[in-house]
């Protein structure tokens, strides 16, 4: 973009737009706005949080930091998202001997994922066990009991900040619990099990006993399987059965290598070990941050509830959850219990993503209460636990919208809108609720009509001149590599020339390059206009004289 000197009229008129600066096309951006945004987006890329670390950890529910989004908080959110992305990249879901495991050892995971500069050290891998027998009976018949009773898979890790410079920057020693999203078939089956149950003693199973001889465990499993809560107090905590099963189930099969302890037990034991290891440090305080994407976001809430409800950590140790595309997990009592325990939750949500709208897509916290209409009155009579079994979200929300990013195609499908790399791209470009993407005004963007050749069927074609100029300017403010969006997807516009699914194709990460626009041409005239334009005036007078005289 061309620089505008102070002597130009724009310096005296803040509303004046920039003069044409891109192959003859007018720029839609104001110079003073761009300079202001560049100062905001480029300042303190990983700033010192030590003096205000409790605010950035959510002690005030991130009040005043979300709109506009604080640059340092943005960097922290992206950092935790990158840790979650490492669980996807390192998970082996192919048909091999190591299927369901991490392809890297604990000490090399972050280095292989390109996150060695985060200052964290992985101390424990977490494995979770799916129990397909805790599904509805119609689904058990559809998959068959020959599929096996349990399936154990690597689902996350626990890491701790060990680098002295990172501890000084953060202002505390941060312990992070990272959860992966849904990948395996059994995990998908657990996701769709939307029955709400009371946790009860599910967290209290004595895992020192063999699973086949524990009558208490078998009784609890049967209660979860039946989904019965006829005698429950309407004020009791309720959670989604599939998430609870995945978090508390252990694999009693002799052939299982890592499933002899539930994910719940693994998290508790490692947190207790780390708390005892660092409790006597006087130079730094402790904090616990739990993060995850999709199913991992649900398990992040479940583990936060577990470690605070059962006094796994001291009350003076702050616990926060930063989730991406997380579904609803429990009822209003579950949310209230988290708030009473001091757990702070920040949910990063894409408006066009369906996963944060389930379970409870029809009946949720924003639904009308029983008694407001005949239909809801009938529902209340049919289910006396209507309010108890209503799913609600916990915490505060950072709402994004992929529609406003000029880098993304406009025909993003349901799977693409749930992609974690897309989420991190939107966080990187987010400014405020009125500017959901850098240099993009929400109100102005809705008034712009789409370029006719931008979308034809399901194929993305060239961008409009306006969009291409917007992309060129927005690139100045993006800290995160745009090519990462297409790592395992095809979401970027074709004009950026980034190979689709380049990670799956085992090719090096490409560099985005925007196609240049052709010089702006004068509008073409029809033949009659051209004839009249070049016809000499004297000839025109002669012709008219011969006709009308």
Predicted confidence (pLDDT) per residue in 312-332, tens digit: 999 999 999 999 999 999 999
What residues contact residue 141 under an 8 Å CB cut-off, 6+ apart? none
Catalytic residue among 31, 418, 428, 464: 418
Choosing from 131, 353, 428, 495, which is the catalytic residue? Answer: 353
Helices marked H in 286-373 — which ranges? 295-309, 332-340
Residue 507 contacts by C-beta under 8 Å, 6 or more apart in sequence? 499
- The pLDDT mean for the chain works out to 79
Catalytic one of 294, 323, 405, 417: 294
Q: What is the pTM of this model?
A: 0.82
pLDDT at 463 over 80: no
For the chain, count helices (H), then strands (E): 18, 11
Residue 515 is predicted with a pLDDT of: 75
For range 146-153, the mean pLDDT? 69
Mean pLDDT over 408-412 rounds to 92
pLDDT the model gives residue 6: 37
Mean pLDDT lowest for which of 167-176, 448-457, 491-500?
448-457
Answer whether 85's CB lies under 8 Å from 181's CB.
Answer: no
As a whole number, mean pLDDT of residues 243-272 equals: 88
Name the pLDDT band for 375 (thresholds 50, 70, 90): low
Tell me what pLDDT residue 192 has. 81
Output the pLDDT for position 368. Answer: 58
Active site residue 418: yes
By residue count, the chain amounts to 549
In this predicted structure, what is the pLDDT of residue 376? 52
pLDDT for position 211: 47
Buried b (16+ CB within 10 A) or exposed e, 162-187: eeeebbebbbbbbbbbbbbbbbbebb
- Do residues 46 and 75 touch, judged by C-beta distance below 8 A? yes
* Surface-to-core class of residue 453, CB atoms within 10 Å of its CB (0-12 exposed, 13-18 middle, 19+ buried): exposed
The separation between CA 469 and the C-alpha centre of its own chain, rounded to angstroms, equals 28
Alpha-carbon span 114 to 176, nearest angstrom:
17
Mean predicted confidence (pLDDT) in 236-244: 93
Does residue 400 surpass a pLDDT of 80? yes
Q: Confirm if 297 and 326 have CB atoms less than 8 A apart.
A: yes
Going by C-alpha positions, the residue among 328, 327, 355 that lies closest to residue 419 is 355
3-state secondary structure of 254: coil
**DSSP 8-state symbol, 505:** T
Q: Which of 20-34, 222-236, 500-514 has the lowest mean pLDDT?
A: 20-34
List, for residues 504-532, the tens digit of each pLDDT value. 998 998 999 887 766 655 555 555 555 55
DSSP letters for 23-60: TTBPP-S-HHHHHHHHHHHHS-TT---GGGHHHHTTTT
Hey, CA dihedral for 182, 305, 123, 116, is it positive or negative?
Answer: positive
Pairing between β-strand 172-179 and β-strand 150-161 as defined by DSSP bridges? antiparallel
Rounded Cα–Cα distance for residues 154 and 256 (Å):
12
Name the residue among 325, 334, 332 with its Cα closest to residue 390.
332
For residues 34 and 57, the model is more confident at: 57
Helix, strand, or coil (residue 196): strand
């Amino acid at each position: 973009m061309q620089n505008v000197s102070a002597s130009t009229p724009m310096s005296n008129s803040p509303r004046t737009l920039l003069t044409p600066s891109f192959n003859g096309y007018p720029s839609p951006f104001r110079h003073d706005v761009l300079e202001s945004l560049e100062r905001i987006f480029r300042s303190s890329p990983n700033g010192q949080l030590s003096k205000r670390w409790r605010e950035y950890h959510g002690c005030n529910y991130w009040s005043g930091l979300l709109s506009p989004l604080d640059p340092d908080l943005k960097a922290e959110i992206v950092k935790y998202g990158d840790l979650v992305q490492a669980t996807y990249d390192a998970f082996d879901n192919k048909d091999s001997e190591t299927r369901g495991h991490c392809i890297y050892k604990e000490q090399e995971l972050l280095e292989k994922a390109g996150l060695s500069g985060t200052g964290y050290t992985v101390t424990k891998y977490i494995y979770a066990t799916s129990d397909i027998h805790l599904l509805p009976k119609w689904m058990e018949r559809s998959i068959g009991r020959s599929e096996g009773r349990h399936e154990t898979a690597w689902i996350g890790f626990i890491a701790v900040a060990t680098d002295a410079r990172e501890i000084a920057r953060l202002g505390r020693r941060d312990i992070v619990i990272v959860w992966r999203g849904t990948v395996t078939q059994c995990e998908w089956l657990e996701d769709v099990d939307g029955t709400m149950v009371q946790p009860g003693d599910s967290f209290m199973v004595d895992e020192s006993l063999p699973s086949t001889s524990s009558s208490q465990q078998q009784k609890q499993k049967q209660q979860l399987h039946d989904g019965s809560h006829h005698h429950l107090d309407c004020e009791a905590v309720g959670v989604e059965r599939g998430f609870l099963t995945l978090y508390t189930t252990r694999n009693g099969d002799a052939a299982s290598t890592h499933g002899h302890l539930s994910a719940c037990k693994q998290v508790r034991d490692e947190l207790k070990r780390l708390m005892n290891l660092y409790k006597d440090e006087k130079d730094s305080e402790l904090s616990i941050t739990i993060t995850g994407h999709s199913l991992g976001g649900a398990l992040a809430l479940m583990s936060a509830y577990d470690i605070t409800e059962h006094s796994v950590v001291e009350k003076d140790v702050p616990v926060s959850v930063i989730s991406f595309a997380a579904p609803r997990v429990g009822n209003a009592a579950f949310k209230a219990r988290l708030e009473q325990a001091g757990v702070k939750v920040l949910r990063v949500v894409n408006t066009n993503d369906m996963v944060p709208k389930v379970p409870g897509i029809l009946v949720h916290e924003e639904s009308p209460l029983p008694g407001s209409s005949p239909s809801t009155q009938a529902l209340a009579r049919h289910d006396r636990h209507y309010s108890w079994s209503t799913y609600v979200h916990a915490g505060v929300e950072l709402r994004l919208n992929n529609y406003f990013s000029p880098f993304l195609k406009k025909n993003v499908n349901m799977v693409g809108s749930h992609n974690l790399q897309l989420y991190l791209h939107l966080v990187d470009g987010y400014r405020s609720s009125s500017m959901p993407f850098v240099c993009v005004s929400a109100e102005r963007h809705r008034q712009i009509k789409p370029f006719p050749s931008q979308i034809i069927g399901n194929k993305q074609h060239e961008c409009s001149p306006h969009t291409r100029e917007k992309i060129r300017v927005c690139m100045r403010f993006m800290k995160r590599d745009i090519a990462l969006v297409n790592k395992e997807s095809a979401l970027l516009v074709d004009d950026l020339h980034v190979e689709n699914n380049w990670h799956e194709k085992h090719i090096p990460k490409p560099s985005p390059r925007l196609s240049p626009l052709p010089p702006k041409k004068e509008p073409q005239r029809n033949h009659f206009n051209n004839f009249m334009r070049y016809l000499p005036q004297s000839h025109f007078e002669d012709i008219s004289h011969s006709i009308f005289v």
